[in-house]
Amino acid sequence: MTPAARVQMAIDLLDQVIAAARNRGAAADVILARWFAERRFAGAKDRRAVRALVYDAIRRCGEVPVSGRAAMLALAQTQPALADLFDGSRYGPAAIAAGEPVAAQGVAPAWLEAAFEASGLDGDECAALLDRAPLDLRVNRLKATPEAVAALFDGAERLAFAPDALRLPEETPVDRTEAYVEGAFEVQDAGSQLVSALAGAAPGMTVIDLCAGGGGKTLALAAAMANQGRILACDVDRPRLSKLMPRAERAGVSITETLLLNPAREAEALADWREQADLVVVDAPCSGTGTWRRNPEARWRLTPAQLERYVDTQAHLLDVAARLVRPGGALVHIVCSLLDAEGAGQVERFVAAQPGWAAVRLDAPAGRPRGEGLRLTPLHDTTDGFFVAKLVRQC
């Protein structure tokens, strides 16, 4: 493909991504995967170039663009060589006309930028939310050591704040290795690893992972417990939860069981677990503002009403979780969000509404205090954005 043809293909893909963002359709990575699967003529080099153009344009536009071409023209404003490819050549984009729409550049929709400012994030912190994310692994201590896994990959870097974490060069094909198949490691952001470790899971505990999803944090908790004790992994999403047990088997984890929950009826399903848990982890559904490095178009999908629904769901789940913790046990609230409404504000509400509970300060090698918890950011910590807080039920 010619460079101009790559630009036009990126514009066509952006049109689909924009439409999906407006209509709650497929995520950008799914759209790109389907597109390339139907166009085998695009070689690996072409696919990489087109993918880079699409995501660079998405990152450039704060508000939802009117079109893929408008988004690409915004990117071209910062890359003169790209503007030259709007030459009207065969398979390439038409020449740039005077006065045609160009998407506004920015970090996020205006209402979200205001919410970030109110949550104590400056412009540099917000801009870093759209950087490219690194590739991090969590070494599974049940099967391997960081030294052994690091020796398998060129350029592997140990991270001081997450002892089981390795950072690899982008696009390292980790899932094709024998070590991955045998469960020696999982792909997991170092920040996710750290907040899992801060939960304080230990051998012999009874742990409930209330929003387990596909099990990334469940497996990290099991490794911290040396596969001794009991973990109940719950979720309302059947397809995601169904992936957990095969992953656990691959990782050598045998202490986990799963429970599918019905939304708004979680307490009923968990009645037998009331006051039984040493630790309950609530990795709550959230806006995902801390993960924009991986899916930057997500900021076009979020609305104030949707954020309010997330906040309500988080409050509900924390209240459910509180009933499961034994006296002296702990509840850990985690969100991959940097908005106070989902982090520090939730903890403040919980402590005010739940007598006999207190937040404890987390001593961590990364992150900074925010309210009664700890916040990780891409700029300060080189991780995804997270908020984590630990609450203890008094005896």
In 132-195 the beta strands, taken as DSSP E runs, fall at 135-139, 157-158, 165-168, 185-187
Q: Do 18 and 67 form a contact (C-beta atoms < 8 A)?
A: yes
Query: At a CB cut-off of 8 Å and minimum separation 6, what does 242 contact?
Result: none
Place of tokens 């899992």: 196
Question: Catalytic residues, which ones?
Answer: 336
**Rg of the chain's alpha carbons, rounded to an integer?**
22
SS3 category, 157: strand
In angstroms, the CA 172 to CA 174 distance is: 6
In angstroms, the CA 51 to CA 70 distance is: 17
As given in the structure block, the two tokens for residue 63 are 């508000």
- Going by C-alpha positions, the residue among 332, 336, 372, 378 that lies closest to residue 221 is 332
Q: Do 375 and 386 form a contact (C-beta atoms < 8 A)?
A: yes
In angstroms, the CA 143 to CA 244 distance is: 18
The neighbour count for residue 53, using CB atoms within 10 Å, is 23
Q: What is the DSSP letter of 62?
A: S
The β-bridge partners of 187 are 137
In angstroms, the CA 181 to CA 250 distance is: 7
**What length does the chain have?**
395
Q: Do 214 and 247 form a contact (C-beta atoms < 8 A)?
A: yes
Residue list, annotated binding site for S-adenosyl-L-methionine:
235, 283
The β-bridge partners of 66 are none
